[in-house]
């Protein structure tokens, strides 16, 4: 069993094309012996965003704080707020962006091979 406080997990800057002002915390992953999924927490600064992209694995997301949007393949902004869940299926074009003035923080669970 693992119990971990988010504040104790180091944050690293996400360094990839199309990313602006995002940090990632790997809360539980393969190094912890997680057999199937990894739990990551992303913090998107005001004005920040992920790339508009797609991949072969699903994302299971839960919004912790802030205001954001999940942009779909047609460029539509789907608002996200604390307490919302979002499922991104394999192959779905998507982008997370902060639409507010505070950090946008969310959990993103993915297959451990994609952590």
pTM, two decimals, is 0.95
Q: For residue 1, is it within any domain?
A: no
For the residues 94-109, what does the mean pLDDT come to? 98
Query: Phi then psi for 30, rounded to 5 degrees?
Result: -60, -35
Total count of domains within the chain: 1
| Dihedral, CA of residue 87, residue 90, residue 92 and residue 93, to nearest 10 | 110
CATH of the domain at 21: 2.60.120.10
Reduced to 3 states (helix: H, G, I; strand: E, B; else coil), residue 76 is coil
Please, are residues 94 and 70 in contact by the beta-carbon 8 Å criterion? Answer: yes
Q: Which domain holds residue 110?
A: 6-114
Does 69 map to a domain? yes
Dump pLDDT digits (tens) for 5-58. Answer: 999 999 999 999 999 999 999 999 999 999 999 999 999 999 999 999 998 999
Tell me if 23 is assigned to some domain.
Answer: yes
Question: What integer best gives the mean pLDDT of the chain?
Answer: 96
Please indicate, yes or no, if residue 13 is contained in any of the structural domains.
yes
Q: Residue 27: inside a domain, yes or no? A: yes
């Amino acid at each position: 069993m693992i119990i971990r406080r988010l504040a104790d997990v180091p944050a690293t800057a996400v360094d990839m094309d199309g990313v602006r002002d995002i940090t990632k915390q790997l809360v539980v992953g393969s190094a912890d012996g997680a057999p199937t999924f990894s739990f990551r927490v992303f913090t998107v600064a005001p004005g920040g965003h992920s790339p508009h992209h797609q991949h072969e694995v699903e994302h299971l997301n839960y919004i912790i704080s802030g205001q954001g949007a999940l942009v779909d393949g047609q460029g539509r902004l789907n608002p996200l707020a604390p307490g919302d869940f979002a499922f991104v299926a394999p192959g779905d074009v998507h982008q997370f962006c902060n639409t507010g003035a505070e950090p946008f923080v969310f959990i993103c669970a993915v297959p451990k091979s994609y952590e």
